[in-house]
Amino acid sequence: MSLDSAALAAHRPYLLRYATLQLRDAGQAEDVVQETLLAALQASFAGQSTLRTWLTGILKHKIVDLIRKQSREAPLAGNGSDDEQLDDFDALFDQRGHWTSEDQPQSWQQPGAALESRQFWRVYEECAKLMPKRVALVFSMREVMDMDIDEICKALTITATNCSVILYRARMSLRLCLDRNWFGREGAAQ
Amino acid sequence: MMLSCKAATRLASAAQDRKLTVSEQIQLRLHLAICNGCRNFTRQIGLIRSAGRRLADHLDDEN
Confidence category of residue A140, pLDDT binned at 50, 70, 90:
very high
Contact B38 A174 (CB under 8 A): no
**Interface with B, mutate which of A21, A171, A177 (most B CBs under 10 A):** A171
Main-chain phi, psi angles of A61, to 5 degrees: -60, -45
Confidence category of residue A190, pLDDT binned at 50, 70, 90:
very low
What confidence tens digit (pLDDT) does each residue in B16-52 have?
999 999 999 999 999 999 999 999 999 999 999 999 9
ipTM: 0.93
- Per CB-CB distance under 8 Å, the chain A contacts of B44 are 105, 108, 175, 178-179
Longest dimension (CA), chain A: 63
Q: What part of A 14-73 touches B (C-beta under 8 Å)? A: 14, 17-18, 21, 56
Least Cα distance to A89 among A159, A163, A179, A171 occurs for A171
Residue of A nearest to B47 (CA): A111
Instruction: Mark residue A97 as left, alpha or beta (left: phi above 0; alpha: psi -120 to 50; beta: remaining).
Output: left
As beta bridge partners, residue A93 has A99
d(CA B25, CA B42): 13
Instruction: Calculate ∠ Cα A30-A32-A33, nearest 5°.
Output: 65
d(CA A89, CA A1): 52
A50: Cβ–Cβ under 8 A, 6 or more apart, which residues? none
Confidence category of residue A48, pLDDT binned at 50, 70, 90:
confident
Confidence category of residue A132, pLDDT binned at 50, 70, 90:
confident
Residue of A nearest to B31 (CA): A98
- Amino acid identity of residue B49, one-letter, is R
d(CA A151, CA A85): 23
Cβ neighbours, 10 Å, residue B45: 23
- Amino acid identity of residue B40, one-letter, is N
* b/e per residue B22-32 (b: at least 16 CB within 10 A): eebeebbeebb
A73: Cβ–Cβ under 8 A, 6 or more apart, which residues? none
**Shortest Cα distance, chain B CAs vs residue A70, angstroms:** 24
Residue of A nearest to B19 (CA): A149
- Amino acid identity of residue B55, one-letter, is L
CB-based contact A40:A55 (threshold 8 Å): yes
What confidence tens digit (pLDDT) does each residue in A13-46 have?
999 988 988 888 899 999 999 999 999 988 888 8
- Per CB-CB distance under 8 Å, the chain B contacts of A121 are 55, 58-60
* pLDDT of A83: 54
Residue of B nearest to A143 (CA): B52
